[in-house]
């Protein structure tokens, strides 16, 4: 009963602060401050400063701003236009036609971005005009883009996986490799849905693409070489054990700058814009992580995580039942918070439960990411929905309805992960161990 009153107090203060427009990171610190004042006799200021400094000075966390900067650089290149030129000839003849460029384009760009919003914006500005010109159904254009852009949260380098790994002190490299196969499987499920809808939907009547010879298709594929080279450098350096995630991120930034320079899209102005964009995003995430670290310490003093874990243990839930409870919990939480905030806000409580249930934390990281992906396309605070609304001028209701089938596919993906956990665990269990991280 005491645990319940503490939870109610924390939630009340949290939603009061969030509802008043306070930044998420500062709201977390506010809740932690209240908890420290009420439940401990330690000097709150000293504890807060020490905790924030420790959380902010993690070497593993340095990969985060580097990957964000790489994505910002690539966002300002002609990479998306080149990807469409390279992918379109090969995808046009598949059932569903060029709508697949949304999914494949997002999958490819996710492997050099790490951000769902960057993936959505970059691929969307390329594909939406082209698909509209060819008279593809608007709901399918918007829905597949909203769903596939969430792959930026799973396919490495994933900002959410970096934050998860830092929060629970797990290997970032292993989490990255755990995300590869599930990301590809989810992309395949999206493509299967598009293929089926192209056969059964009465609205599907796009313009025919001009036929191209095999030689012409191969010639167009040259546009894909830069992005695949960059993916090979970033992911390959970690897979082969040559680099930690932080070092691979630095290679990615250098590769992104070289790619932008080769395309003629690197100027002093775009360099500064990319640097400032990365700084703003990194500072926002660092503030959330610092607030979450302070809140985690406070909750430790209250004994709340252990109490809740014991309570879950007393309920004697099976592993599957616990995962179902967490699935519903994160879907509801994701309607009001972004993915990174959801992860750092809950890990102090959820991690002991998961460990006690004997669930693999690498696998659980992928489970969390899939559920957090859903949060990107669920109203009222689905971030991808807001980005798409700004890009297309559609009403939020239309975009949410278009994205709903993708949400259901992600729910199916959760059950696929539960039934076949090896999808997430095989690669990290078999990769060559790198020099750290």
Could you tell me the two tokens for 428? 């990290």
- The conformation of residue 249, written as its DSSP 8-state character, comes to H
Query: pTM for the complete prediction?
Result: 0.77
Is 50 among the domain residues?
Answer: no
Is 19 among the domain residues?
Answer: no
Give pLDDT, residue 436: 45
Give pLDDT, residue 2: 58
Is 36 among the domain residues?
Answer: no
Structural domain for 186, as ranges: 59-430
Is 42 among the domain residues?
Answer: no
* Contacts for 394 with CB less than 8 Å, ≥ 6 apart: 138, 142, 388
- The conformation of residue 208, written as its DSSP 8-state character, comes to P
Is 76 among the domain residues?
Answer: yes
> Which of these, 182, 178, 165, 150, lies nearest to 63 by C-alpha position?
165
Under the banding of pLDDT at 50, 70 and 90, the label for residue 196 is very high
For residue 433, pLDDT over 60 is answered with no
Q: Render pLDDT for 243-260 as a digit per residue (tens, 0 to 9).
A: 887 888 888 889 889 988
Note the Cα 317 to chain centre separation in Å: 29
Is 125 among the domain residues?
Answer: yes
Give pLDDT, residue 434: 46
Is 229 among the domain residues?
Answer: yes
How many whole angstroms separate alpha carbon 199 and alpha carbon 400? 23
Q: Are 84 and 124 in contact (CB under 8 A)?
A: no
Number of folded domains that form the chain:
1
Q: Render pLDDT for 27-75 as a digit per residue (tens, 0 to 9).
A: 888 888 888 888 777 788 888 888 888 877 777 677 778 877 887 887 7
Q: Are 375 and 343 in contact (CB under 8 A)?
A: no
Compute how many other C-beta atoms are within 10 angstroms of the C-beta atom of residue 154: 29
Give pLDDT, residue 194: 94
Least confident of 136-150, 343-357, 359-373, 374-388: 374-388
Q: Render pLDDT for 207-231 as a digit per residue (tens, 0 to 9).
A: 777 788 888 888 888 888 888 888 8
Under the banding of pLDDT at 50, 70 and 90, the label for residue 80 is low
How many whole angstroms separate alpha carbon 196 and alpha carbon 98? 14
Is 192 among the domain residues?
Answer: yes
User: Both ends of the chain: CA-CA distance in Å?
Assistant: 41
Give pLDDT, residue 435: 45
């Amino acid at each position: 009963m005491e645990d319940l009153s503490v939870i109610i107090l924390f939630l009340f203060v949290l939603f009061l602060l969030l509802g008043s427009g306070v930044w998420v990171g500062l709201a977390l610190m506010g809740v932690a401050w209240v908890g420290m004042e009420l439940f401990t006799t330690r000097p709150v200021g000293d504890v807060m400063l020490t905790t924030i400094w420790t959380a902010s000075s993690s070497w593993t966390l340095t990969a985060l701003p580097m990957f964000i900067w790489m994505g910002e650089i690539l966002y300002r290149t002609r990479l998306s236009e080149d990807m469409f030129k390279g992918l379109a000839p090969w995808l046009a003849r598949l059932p569903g036609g060029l709508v697949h460029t949304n999914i494949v384009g997002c999958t490819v760009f996710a492997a050099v971005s790490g951000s769902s919003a960057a993936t959505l914006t970059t691929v969307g500005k390329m594909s939406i005009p082209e698909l509209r010109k060819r008279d593809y159904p608007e709901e399918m254009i918007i829905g597949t883009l909203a769903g596939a852009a969430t792959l930026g949260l799973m396919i490495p380098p994933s900002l959410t996986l970096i934050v998860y790994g830092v929060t629970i002190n797990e290997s970032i490299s292993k989490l990255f490799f755990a995300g590869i196969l599930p990301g590809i499987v989810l992309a395949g499920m999206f493509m299967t849905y598009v293929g089926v809808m192209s056969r059964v939907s009465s609205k599907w009547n796009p313009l025919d693409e001009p036929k191209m010879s095999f030689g012409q298709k191969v010639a167009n594929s040259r546009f894909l070489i830069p992005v695949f080279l960059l993916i090979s450098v970033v992911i390959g350096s970690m897979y082969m054990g040559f680099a930690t995630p932080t070092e691979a991120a630095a290679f990615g930034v250098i590769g992104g700058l070289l790619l932008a320079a080769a395309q003629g899209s690197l100027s002093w102005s775009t360099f500064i814009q990319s640097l400032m964009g990365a700084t703003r995003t990194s500072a926002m995430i660092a503030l959330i992580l610092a607030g979450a670290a302070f809140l985690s310490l406070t909750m430790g003093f209250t004994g709340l995580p252990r109490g809740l874990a014991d309570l879950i243990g007393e309920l004697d839930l099976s592993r599957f039942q616990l995962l179902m409870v967490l699935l519903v919990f994160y879907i509801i939480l994701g309607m009001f918070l972004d993915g990174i905030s959801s992860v750092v806000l809950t890990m102090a409580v959820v991690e002991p439960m998961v460990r006690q249930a004997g669930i693999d934390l690498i696998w659980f990281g992928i489970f969390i990411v899939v559920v957090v992906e859903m949060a990107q396309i669920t109203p009222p605070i689905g971030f991808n929905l807001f980005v798409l609304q700004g890009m297309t001028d559609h009403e939020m209701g239309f975009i949410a309805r278009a994205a709903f089938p993708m949400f259901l596919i992600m729910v199916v993906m959760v059950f696929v992960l539960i039934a076949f956990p090896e999808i997430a665990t095989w690669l990290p269990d078999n990769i060559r161990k790198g020099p750290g991280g």
